[in-house]
Amino acid sequence: MSTQDETTKKVVKKFNEILKELEHCDEDEQKKKIEEMNKMTGEMNEEEFKSVFTARMFNKINEIIKVKKLTIENLILLLKRISYFKMLAFISTQSFNYSLLCKKLKALIIDEDKKKERMNEKYFIDLCECYISLSYNFPPELLSICIPCLLKVALNKEENEETQNEVEMALLALSNIIYSKVAKELYIKEIVEIMKYHQEHRNLTHLAYQSAWHFLINRFRQDKSLEDVIVNELHFARETAGELNGLSKCVDWKREKEEEKAVVLMEWLKALDICFIYFRSRNEVFILLTNCIVKLFRAAKDKHRKISTYCIYLFKVAAEFGAFQISHLLNGGAVDAVLEEIHEPTLNDGIVGKMLLFFMNISKKLKKEGGDEMDMKERKMMKMDIFEKAEEEGYEDAIAGFHKTINFLNNKFHFKSLNIADYFMNI
């Protein structure tokens, strides 16, 4: 058994021991035990988190509530930390949905919603946040209750730390609604107001603002009519570029443990993935966006490999799909960045595959025939520009060096029987 496995077993054992002790404590002692459990939660890695918070664990918690040895208020103290850490670390798990505690929270939310007057609004908000943050899929009835509740919290414009934390948690919870279809009238007015207000006053944290965008981009998965709101009304490219620039300057790239700002950067890149594939707008602002990704790639290179690799992946996606033109990638610096990377001696198969697809897609687009005289002239100028950059960087020698790996990559990445000639650019 590996050292990591041993450590995980110890964490699980320790958490179980404290949970068992909860049954024999009064309410104040329970709070102290929960503080200890919350501290443990904040120090877990993803493997430890998934090993601790299983459906079985949540069922144990539900049983303690059932025999009235844990108050709902203390349950919320525990679940809020679990849900916040899960969301902050972007851990994907379905264990909560298969537990009796999930059913318990659903029932509590529905019962509370039926009350004509709620004595404790904060209690209801906490229930909604915990349920939405910990769950994986959501019945429409629960979404119609929880989304308006969380948006109401996020609309609070008071400028103090407590409000800012509440707004951040509400938006972070909403960003967990990924695949569920949500009626536009349930959210569009409020989310646009929240984002426009931030663009004018900059009242949200980086995490809260990214979470708001993530919620909206996830709705775009099912409703492509949102593109006009996202691109033109909320200025997605401009705002994303600003956040990428700002966050990359704040990240401590030398830290071994991934910090929150690096996590938020990664989530912006994931949002870009969806947009690059499905957007149809052709906007020169995308040159600015490409330039920001290039800067981020160079800042993260050799310091945060997950981010720099994802930048290469985004260049590949941009070269393949809708919104980007070759001129965006050329003028934004993406071609230069990938040409630099292709000479690195320690590239793995995944990165090689992404770079090969990037150059293949560019090569294919530059070889297209047809178009009016201006199109042909511009295409020829771009061909010449890229060809000269490639020649200067020794691109053809680098590609030739991958000759023996092409067949392997064809099989591994499901290329369509490509050969070395597909990657050369002829002028």
Q: What is residue 26's predicted lDDT score, i.e. its pLDDT?
A: 87
* Residues in the chain, pLDDT under 50: 369-374
Tell me, what amino acid is at 314? L
Task: Check residue 282 and give its pLDDT.
Answer: 63
Strands (E), 2-97: none
pLDDT at residue 288, as a whole number: 82
pTM: 0.87
The residue behind tokens 């264990």 is 95
Q: Give CA separation, 224 vs 122, 217, 228, in Å.
A: 35, 10, 9
The pLDDT of residue 369: 45
| Nearest to 44, CA basis, from 81, 95, 1 | 81
User: What Å distances lie between residue 27 and 22, 61, 63, 309, CA to CA?
Assistant: 9, 15, 17, 49
What pLDDT does 426 receive? 55
* 216-251 exposure pattern, b = at least 16 Cβ within 10 A, e = fewer: bbbbbeeeeebbebbbeebbbbebbbebbeebbeeb
pLDDT for the residue 301: 86
Nearest 5 degrees, angle CA 274-CA 277-CA 278?
85
**CA-angle at 65, arms to 64 and 68, nearest 5°:** 95
DSSP 107-130: HHHHHHHH-SS-S-HHHHHHHHHH
Tokens 């002028």 correspond to 427
What pLDDT is attached to residue 336?
86
